[in-house]
Amino acid sequence: MDIIFTRIEALERSVYSNAQDTVHSENIVGQVALVERQLNKTLSENRTLALGLEKYEKLRDIIDGDGDIELSRSLLGVNAKTELILLNDGALNTLSDMRIIADLQSKVNQPEYAAAAEQLSKSQQLERRHRDQAAVFRQAVADISLVIDKYHAETEVLSEMFVEWDRILTTIERKVSELETTA
């Protein structure tokens, strides 16, 4: 019975901490009803407390354990209870992720990455030079192709001229030979 009175008094103190008037009824049922009304009013005004109480109700068996307050205190320490509540909220997962991120931070911020960032401007300059050289190369290839095309055209004309001269010379030699045989 002392456990119930202790818990009721603790609940009254937490509920009445915001209230100015603390009316105590002599019978326990009246006190519980009064505390319950005040608690419901406080929970309706403060959504965070309501969510906390919902979480507490879900984890009550784990946090409080069975038996008196001393036994429940020995079952789980404050840190363990806090970790259970945080785990339910997902905050422990976030904390774990933050620890992993902190461990990886040294690998992410390597000096080589900073040096690579500094080399970016040099890389961009080289890229620009490469593009310029590629443009000059393409122009040189186009110019050489034009010269080769002109060379082929001239060679073809000269070739046709030589073929025509050969035909003319062959014709002249044939006529000279005919004249020599007739003479």
Query: What is the band of 134 on the pLDDT scale with cuts at 50, 70, 90?
Result: very high
Alpha carbons 146 and 71: distance in angstroms, whole number: 99
Is 50 exceeded by the pLDDT of residue 46?
yes
Q: What number is the average pLDDT over the span 57-84?
A: 63
How many structural domains comprise the chain? 1
Q: Which structural domain, as residue segments, surrounds residue 133? A: 121-183
Of 22, 29, 26, 23, nearest to 4 by C-alpha is: 29
pLDDT at 79: 73
Residue 129 lies in a domain: yes
Is 80 exceeded by the pLDDT of residue 5?
no
Residue 58 lies in a domain: no
Q: Are 8 and 28 in contact (CB under 8 A)?
A: yes
Q: Using one digit for the tens of pLDDT, what is the confidence trace for 80-123? A: 777 666 666 666 567 677 777 777 777 777 777 777 777 888 88
Give the number of C-alpha atoms closer than 13 A to the C-alpha of residue 76, restricted to the C-beta side. 17
Of 70, 68, 14, nearest to 38 by C-alpha is: 14
Structure tokens at 70: 């001393």
pLDDT at 20: 46
pLDDT at 34: 83
Q: Are 84 and 62 in contact (CB under 8 A)?
A: yes
Least confident of 12-16, 69-73, 132-136: 69-73
Is 70 exceeded by the pLDDT of residue 15?
no
Q: Are 41 and 64 in contact (CB under 8 A)?
A: no
Q: Using one digit for the tens of pLDDT, what is the confidence trace for 28-38? A: 777 778 888 88
The most distant pair of C-alpha atoms in the chain lies apart, rounded to whole Å, by 167
pLDDT at 175: 94
Residue 146 lies in a domain: yes
Please tell me which residue, 106 or 23, carries the higher pLDDT value. Answer: 106
Residue 32 lies in a domain: no
DSSP string, 126-173: HHHHHHHHHHHHHHHHHHHHHHHHHHHHHHHHHHHHHHHHHHHHHHHH
Residue 116 lies in a domain: no
